[in-house]
Structure 1
């Protein structure tokens, strides 16, 4: 069975290639709350999650 590699930082998870991307986003956000608003990049055989920088402390200059 063909696998899709899901990558977040140093974490790599193999999932079935026919996994729905939206379902994957939900599952990743449940396990990694910082990925709730993540940037998701798909490539050949991989899905890369990148956490967006938050606004915490942005009022302090």
Structure 2
């Protein structure tokens, strides 16, 4: 997973106080959140388990 994409997904997650699963759902569902993450409609959104694994690996 791209480090920039992880950061771009973490910003709205922390601002809105969402879980990893809710963040994944919002990025998949809303074009505005996809734009924040610089994803196109055809791009795949990383699953929440990958985001959790990368966040726990940092600690």
Instruction: Report which of the two has the higher share of helix.
Output: 2
Q: TM-score, normalised by structure 2?
A: 0.35
Q: TM-score, normalised by structure 1?
A: 0.34
Report the structure number with the largest CA radius of gyration. 1
